[in-house]
Amino acid sequence: MSQGKLIVISGPAGTGKGTVVAALRERKEYALSISATTRAPRGTEADGVNYFFKTTEEFEKMIENKEFLEYANFVGNYYGTPKQYVLDRLAEGKNVILEIEVQGALQVKENYPEALLIFLLPPSKEELENRLRGRATDSEETIIKRLARADEELALQDKYDYKVVNDTVERAVEEIEGIIEKA
């Protein structure tokens, strides 16, 4: 059986990665890796569904045990991709999607050069800010930190294999499907 493809989708928080990934998964089968994080659950998020929620101590133990494919610190919290799940699905020939931030994505590329790195861009800076502010669950302080981080992330977009503008979800999804099929 041939190996599945490892697809990394990044882009500043608020770009609509989650919506685009959900739309991709409605149309075709992809394994979605569930990340571990030390940030607190937001709204209706549940452990093992949106994330595996960990204490800093637990997360650091996982780092020590080399359980991560990649991990990064994002606005004061750890986020990481558990390695075994991803390697198992790829070995089964399944395509796997990672929805992760930029530092982690670049680590994946280093370790798995065949990974497809897709940077999802917001249609505009204003739209990004509107979307981040629309998340009533985040404090003003968090929003400001995330906006600053968005600029840092946008500066790294040229390191990606592909850039896709999330102007409409339908169009972005079709473009991404085209990229995955050709790869």
Residue 127: CB minimum distance to ligand 5GP, A: 16
Q: How far is the CB of 20 from ligand 5GP (least distance, A)?
A: 11
How many of the chain's residues bind ligand 5GP (CB under 6 A)? 15
* Cα gap 91→87, rounded to integer Å: 6
As measured in angstroms, the least distance from the Cβ of 111 to ligand 5GP is 13
Q: Smallest distance, Å, CB 21 to ligand 5GP?
A: 9
| Amino acid code (one letter) for 49 | V
Q: Which residue of 7, 21, 104, 150 would you call a contact of ligand 5GP, by CB under 6 A?
A: 104
Cα–Cα distance between 177 and 183 in angstroms, integer?
A: 10
Compute the half-sphere exposure of residue 38: CA atoms within 13 Å on the CB side of its CA. 17
Binding residue for ligand 5GP, selected from 8, 20, 62, 70, defined by CB under 6 A: 70
Q: Which residues bind ligand 5GP (CB under 6 A)?
A: 13, 17, 35, 39, 70-72, 74, 79-81, 99-101, 104
